[in-house]
């Protein structure tokens, strides 16, 4: 899991929580907004706790971030909802994209190894391909 992206997701969750709380308090003073205001305040307070979670705990609870993001969007706090949705996707999809990239690299390395075994490329050429893949991986992450 990329700690930088999780930290960004935690910050966005915090921002979304604060927007939800402030918006909920504002809405609380209108007759129609009382129900939505209470819901937004509860969601905001719940989400404030997420900033102290470990990366693993944060990722495990990320479905709650998605739910609150959708609720905030429908209770008029679109900016807070969008922050939460972005946080959810950062917590969940960056890692899977990285894993897919690693699979492609492993397949390329395996293909190069097979070509070396068949005598199509030399061991030196195989080592250059391997180094290139390793260096690209280090530079990417």
Structure confidence by residue, pLDDT tens digits, 17-71: 999 889 888 888 887 778 888 889 999 999 999 989 988 888 888 899 999 999 9
Instruction: Give the pLDDT of residue 31.
Output: 75
pTM to 2 decimal places: 0.62
Residue among 86, 78, 77, 81 at smallest CA distance from 68: 81
- Residue 10, pLDDT > 80, answer yes
Average model confidence (pLDDT) across the chain: 83
User: How far is it, in rounded angstroms, from Cα 88 to Cα 140?
Assistant: 22
Instruction: Give the pLDDT of residue 1.
Output: 47
The larger pLDDT score, comparing residue 53 to residue 109, is at 53
Residue among 14, 40, 47 at smallest CA distance from 26: 40
């Amino acid at each position: 899991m990329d700690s930088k992206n999780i930290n960004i997701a935690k910050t966005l969750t915090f921002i979304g929580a604060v927007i939800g709380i402030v918006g909920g308090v504002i809405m609380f003073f209108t007759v129609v907004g009382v129900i939505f205001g209470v819901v937004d305040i509860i969601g905001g307070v719940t989400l404030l706790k997420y900033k102290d979670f470990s990366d693993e705990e944060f990722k495990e609870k990320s479905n709650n971030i998605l739910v609150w993001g959708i609720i905030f969007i429908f209770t008029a706090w679109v900016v807070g909802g969008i922050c939460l949705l972005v946080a959810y996707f950062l917590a969940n999809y960056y890692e899977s994209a990285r894993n897919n990239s690693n699979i492609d690299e492993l397949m390329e390395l395996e293909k190069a190894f097979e070509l070396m075994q068949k005598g199509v490329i030399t061991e030196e050429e195989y080592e250059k391909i391997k180094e290139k893949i390793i260096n690209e991986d280090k530079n990417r992450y």
